[in-house]
A and B are shown apart, each in its own frame.
Chain A
């Protein structure tokens, strides 16, 4: 059964902006799904419609088979939402926010307190249960929103940029937490600014751009579509001009390193052999961009080239 089905979902805002132009999307139960797209692509609108914060203009949305038009309350009970912006009362205590939210889902206060302890401990926030929420750090506020979304034990968790603005250590621990949650059976849909995050966590991916899905497949399949990767080679001694290696596009970076583009049917051995023959010593090497980021940028740049627009780059 699909956790989420979007069929010809459309949204046109009052100001005439067509945020979604009839998208179709299926997310299987138990999946870890990435929804990516540049700023204003329509990701948050799609999530808003599913969580009933935005009214759709057309199409259908089903959550575990429950149509949001005819069975909204049941659909809502299946979803936990972690929004992009802080949306809890910043004058309330952490425990009050959580117990109240559980109450809105019909969970008695005694049960809510037990679950609150479980989730706050798992998210390393238990010590902060009596703190007024505005005093929490950015990372803690994000974790509080995750705990809040999990109190009613939803079957589908939707996270809109959950790790935006949090430090690397907290981000890594949140990844681990989300992985465990998914292993335990919760379907997760994630939008993120960090494409490395999507590549590490998600099994399926959809890329949305200008209100349309332009890519939707397994992560591995999508990454295989990346025909070339760019590597940055740091040299022992800088060179004045990029060495010429037949068949390989090479250019000199400002810091003296060399960038080389290697397509699927080429290999790095040839490059290294050619550089060694010229007495050029490579000290270290790295990918210029994360693989998914590279693919993402190419897809968006391809669209921009077609429309004559300047690429905005990857983003929320």
Chain B
């Protein structure tokens, strides 16, 4: 190899690596954020209306007759669960629809041909999902403040739980989008798996109210651990062990991230 050739190869390598990954990551996140803002009528407004209805019907109308739960008013009890529910559905929904849309419209190829490592592409989409999850979570929190007061007892627990949950469901949305071949397959999981698991994950009740077998079954539902960790941050009360909840969430986030990168490396659903 001559000197000029060696120099040009070095320049190529330099151009591909020199801090350019950060710009690539930022670009994916900006694109995702722009999408969330551009279609705000589909991304921000519906969860806000749904949360308002939950607070009015379950919290205000029915909640008054229920009285206390976990040592606090029912409205105060369900508020963290409703915030978490919106974070779960929106972080999942953002990634699954955005990534599948990119596959369907073939503009995912813009990313696949670019000199970006697969872990960075996954990270970019997950960051987009987290941004939407947290944005909607914040909107629902503001709505909750119209109906009840929220006192944060453990801020770090609140932030860590909501962030890990948003990451996990963004990654799950990514997996769904990778395997989906049509639009039916991206709505199947949220409708038939995610929604029932969320409703049965202790959003509206404490599992201590359930018979033993139902409590045991509920403990197999991963969403229960996320909702309870988040609720602990507000109320200082949880149906499950906090350490176990965080260990599970960290393990799930790491495992799913590895799985998503592996799927992209293999080209499943993208480079077939």
Contact B12 A83 (CB under 8 A): no
Contact A87 B271 (CB under 8 A): no
Q: How far is the CA of A148 from the CA of B114 in the complex (A)?
A: 12
Give chain A residues whose Cβ lies under 8 Å from the Cβ of B102: 89
Does B117 count as interface, using CB distance less than 8 angstroms? yes
- Shortest Cβ gap from A230 to chain B (Å): 41
Q: Which of B1, B105, B110 contacts A104 (CB 8 A)?
A: B110
Total interface residues on A, using CB and 8 Å?
A: 36
Contact B17 A73 (CB under 8 A): yes
Q: How far is the CA of A83 from the CA of B23 in the complex (A)?
A: 24
- Per-residue interface assignment for chain A, residues 1 to 40, with 1 indicating a CB less than 8 Å from any chain B CB and 0 otherwise: 1000000000000100000000000000000000000000
Which A residues, 68 to 84, have Cβ-Cβ distances below 8 Å to chain B?
A: 71-74, 76-79, 81, 83
- Shortest Cβ gap from A58 to chain B (Å): 15
Q: How far is the CA of A88 from the CA of B19 in the complex (A)?
A: 25
Q: How far is the CA of A85 from the CA of B108 in the complex (A)?
A: 13
Contact A104 B109 (CB under 8 A): no
Q: Given A14-B272, A88-B110, A90-B105, verify A104-B9 contact (CB < 8 Å).
A: no
Contact A87 B12 (CB under 8 A): no
Q: How far is the CA of A74 from the CA of B31 in the complex (A)?
A: 24
- Per-residue interface assignment for chain A, residues 45 to 73, with 1 indicating a CB less than 8 Å from any chain B CB and 0 otherwise: 00000011111000000001110000111
Give chain B residues whose Cβ lies under 8 Å from the Cβ of A1: 5, 8
- Nearest residue (CB) in A for B117 is A73
Contact A53 B115 (CB under 8 A): no
Contact A101 B271 (CB under 8 A): no
Q: How far is the CA of A120 from the CA of B107 in the complex (A)?
A: 20
Give chain A residues whose Cβ lies under 8 Å from the Cβ of B17: 73-74
Select the residue from B13, B109, B115, B116 with max chain A CB neighbours within 10 A.
B115
Contact B107 A87 (CB under 8 A): yes
Contact B113 A106 (CB under 8 A): no
Give chain A residues whose Cβ lies under 8 Å from the Cβ of B271: 52-55
- Nearest residue (CB) in A for B23 is A106
- Shortest Cβ gap from B181 to chain A (Å): 14
Contact B24 A55 (CB under 8 A): no
Does A234 count as interface, using CB distance less than 8 angstroms? no
Does A105 count as interface, using CB distance less than 8 angstroms? yes
Q: Which of A14, A76, A83, A90 contacts B16 (CB 8 A)?
A: A76
Q: How far is the CA of A14 from the CA of B113 in the complex (A)?
A: 22
Q: Which of B111, B115, B267 contacts A77 (CB 8 A)?
A: B115
Contact B8 A64 (CB under 8 A): yes
Q: How far is the CA of A88 from the CA of B102 in the complex (A)?
A: 9
Give chain B residues whose Cβ lies under 8 Å from the Cβ of A14: 272
Does A290 count as interface, using CB distance less than 8 angstroms? no
Give chain B residues whose Cβ lies under 8 Å from the Cβ of A106: 15-16, 18-21, 23-24, 115
Contact A65 B5 (CB under 8 A): yes
Give chain B residues whose Cβ lies under 8 Å from the Cβ of A89: 102, 105, 107
Contact B13 A104 (CB under 8 A): no
Q: How far is the CA of A101 from the CA of B9 in the complex (A)?
A: 23
Q: How far is the CA of A79 from the CA of B110 in the complex (A)?
A: 12
Q: How far is the CA of A115 from the CA of B117 in the complex (A)?
A: 24
Does A282 count as interface, using CB distance less than 8 angstroms? no
- Nearest residue (CB) in B for A54 is B271
Q: How far is the CA of A87 from the CA of B113 in the complex (A)?
A: 12
Q: Given A71-B13, A105-B20, A106-B24, verify A100-B106 contact (CB < 8 Å).
A: no
Does B112 count as interface, using CB distance less than 8 angstroms? yes
Q: Given A106-B21, A106-B23, A108-B23, verify A83-B109 contact (CB < 8 Å).
A: yes
Does B221 count as interface, using CB distance less than 8 angstroms? no
Q: Given A53-B109, A88-B107, verify A76-B23 contact (CB < 8 Å).
A: no
Does A96 count as interface, using CB distance less than 8 angstroms? yes
Does A86 count as interface, using CB distance less than 8 angstroms? yes
Q: How far is the CA of A87 from the CA of B8 in the complex (A)?
A: 30
Does B182 count as interface, using CB distance less than 8 angstroms? no
Q: Which of B16, B26, B110, B266 contacts A73 (CB 8 A)?
A: B16
Q: How far is the CA of A89 from the CA of B99 in the complex (A)?
A: 12
Contact B24 A104 (CB under 8 A): yes
- Shortest Cβ gap from B251 to chain A (Å): 30
Q: Which of A77, A81, A88, A96 contacts B15 (CB 8 A)?
A: A77
Does B215 count as interface, using CB distance less than 8 angstroms? no
Give chain B residues whose Cβ lies under 8 Å from the Cβ of A54: 271
Q: How far is the CA of A53 from the CA of B109 in the complex (A)?
A: 7
Does B208 count as interface, using CB distance less than 8 angstroms? no
- Shortest Cβ gap from B164 to chain A (Å): 28
Q: How far is the CA of A76 from the CA of B105 in the complex (A)?
A: 22
Does A139 count as interface, using CB distance less than 8 angstroms? no
Does A103 count as interface, using CB distance less than 8 angstroms? yes
Does B185 count as interface, using CB distance less than 8 angstroms? no
Q: How far is the CA of A186 from the CA of B112 in the complex (A)?
A: 22
Give chain A residues whose Cβ lies under 8 Å from the Cβ of B15: 77, 106
Contact B110 A87 (CB under 8 A): yes
Give chain A residues whose Cβ lies under 8 Å from the Cβ of B27: 100, 103-104
Does A107 count as interface, using CB distance less than 8 angstroms? yes
Apart from the given pairs A52-B271, A73-B116, A104-B27, 12 other A-B contacts in the complex at a CB distance below 8 Å: A54-B271, A73-B16, A74-B115, A76-B113, A77-B16, A77-B115, A85-B106, A87-B110, A88-B110, A103-B23, A105-B20, A105-B24
Instruction: Please give the residue numbers on chain A whose beta carbons come within 8 Å of chain B beta carbons, in ascending order.
Output: 1, 14, 51-55, 64-66, 71-74, 76-79, 81, 83, 85-90, 96, 100-101, 103-108, 148
